[in-house]
Chain A
Amino acid sequence: DAMVIQNPRYQVTQFGKPVTLSCSQTLNHNVMYWYQQKSSQAPKLLFHYYDKDFNNEADTPDNFQSRRPNTSFCFLDIRSPGLGDAAMYLCATSRDFGLLEAFFGQGTRLTVV
């Protein structure tokens, strides 16, 4: 059974049109992460939540926002998608920081047209 679920698997959005990607988890983990992965590259951390505490990576563009309304759900909002934002977006969870593996969802492939 899937423990980290991302919806949708594939998302097409128009240039400049806001889009939201969703992630849910059944693990009751404290930490939820969003990664961006472009073709043939490693996943790059955008931001994460520890419970309700939000931590943004220094080089994450302001165009990317996140919400975590409760333990189970976390959303990635892209306010004005550009062509360069086309990528796979991965959600991951971990029970805590450090020394613990992160569980990944299957990802959402975002296409910007």
Chain B
Amino acid sequence: GESVGLHLPTLSVQEGDNSIINCAYSNSASDYFIWYKQESGKGPQFIIDIRSNMDKRQGQRVTVLLNKTVKHLSLQIAATQPGDSAVYFCAENNSGGGADGLTFGKGTHLIIQP
């Protein structure tokens, strides 16, 4: 089965509000995590990443939080805009696990309401 999963399939927020997308992972050996944004009909686009030796990382309007104790990852998007509407996937990688590609979670569809 998948080692990475998401709590909610759809999240609807008002434009301008902050949004939080959650992800749970089960492989405690995973040491690198990425959030991808995928717009309809397009390939996944890198948003932000975090290594397991960190618990927080900030980008432009986005923050990723990592809680290794409970194997939980979240993506916070500040002041959401219509262009943020997309499916968001968390993905994990295990650098010590040899030749593996990223393992993706199920995805959360973020809907921005005007």
Contacts and interface: CB of A to CB of B under 8 A. Distances in A.
Nearest to B32: A99
Nearest to A97: B99
Nearest to A43: B104
Contact of A99 (B36, B41, B93, B105): B93
B40 to A, nearest CB: 11
A68 interface: no
B84 interface: no
A104 B32 CA distance: 17
A84 interface: no
Contacts, number: 68
A107 B98 contact: no
Given A33-B101, A42-B2, A45-B102, A98 B93 contact: yes
Interface residues of A, number: 28
A48 B101 contact: yes
Given A42-B2, A48-B101, A102-B101, A97 B42 contact: no
Given A98-B94, A99-B93, A105 B43 contact: yes
22 contacts: A33-B101, A40-B107, A41-B106, A42-B104, A45-B102, A48-B99, A48-B101, A90-B44, A97-B93, A97-B98, A97-B99, A98-B31, A98-B94, A99-B31, A99-B32, A100-B32, A102-B34, A104-B36, A104-B44, A106-B42, A106-B43, A107-B41
The 4 closest A-B pairs by CB, nearest first: A98-B95, A104-B43, A42-B104, A45-B101
Given A41-B106, A90-B44, A102-B102, 20 more contacts: A35-B101, A40-B107, A41-B107, A42-B104, A42-B106, A44-B104, A45-B100, A45-B101, A45-B103, A48-B99, A50-B99, A55-B99, A97-B93, A97-B98, A98-B96, A99-B93, A101-B34, A101-B46, A104-B43, A107-B41
Interface of B: 2, 31-32, 34, 36, 41-46, 49, 51, 89, 93-107
